[in-house]
Amino acid sequence: MKIYDITRTLSPSIAIYPGNPPVEFEVFEGETSTHTKVSFGTHTGTHIDAPRHVFKDGKGVDHIPLDILCGECRVLDLRAVKESIKIQDLEPYHIQKGERILVRTKNSDNDFKKFTSEYIYLDGDASDWLAEKEIVLFGIDYLSIKKRGGNDHRPHTSLLEKDIIIFEGLDLRSIEEGDYMFVGLPLKLQGLDGSPVRAILMQK
């Protein structure tokens, strides 16, 4: 079985979405051991958005069922998309209820060392369309699913309102379109809105 690591490495030099806390490591060297104080925001690097991210009474990351976070998925190659992912970009894939969908876009070519506002995002109408399809998980290869500064919040609200879990910051540079097994596990942070994850794909 082939295992693909689709997680961006966390370090103080990783790109951070504006307004989010930076990554900081503080190393403590003892006589017999080393330990490190780590500081970062819940939406750093490859991370998960729980419903609590946009709904005060939404589920935190510790209440997302593991059978949602692990299972069969499809990676869609949407590198031809120029600004935002629209319904017409998704329709040819005949997406079905219960699917986990990850999208590889031009975002994957970003080195994640400096934030850019010019990234591919999910269109609001496409978000409604995916929610109506009743997928269970959607993942994208940049730090946000929605346009920075945009007034259309549906890329978050339409999905998370239905407990459709969002993964952002996936590293899909070396991933071909196709079927995989997905595992994306957040830290079990009590009641929190998000968490960095270790995400992998597996393929026979």
DSSP 38: E
Burial grade of 177 (CB within 10 A; 0-12, 13-18, 19 or more): middle
Report which of 200, 184, 160, 183 is spatially closest to residue 53, judged by C-alpha positions. Answer: 160
Catalytic residue among 35, 53, 153, 156: 53
Share of the chain above pLDDT 70, in %: 100
Q: What is the mean pLDDT of the chain?
A: 96
pLDDT, residue 123, reads: 97
Q: Where are the alpha helices (DSSP H) in 91-199?
A: 124-133, 154-160
53 catalytic? Reply is yes
Contacts with 30 (C-beta within 8 Å, 6 or more apart), sequence order: none
Amino acid letter, residue 105: T
pLDDT (tens, 9 = 90+) of the chain, 204 residues, equals: 999 999 999 999 999 999 999 999 999 999 999 999 999 999 999 999 999 999 999 999 999 999 999 999 999 999 999 999 999 999 999 999 999 999 999 999 888 999 999 999 999 999 999 999 999 999 999 999 999 999 999 999 999 999 999 999 999 999 999 999 999 999 999 999 999 999 999 998
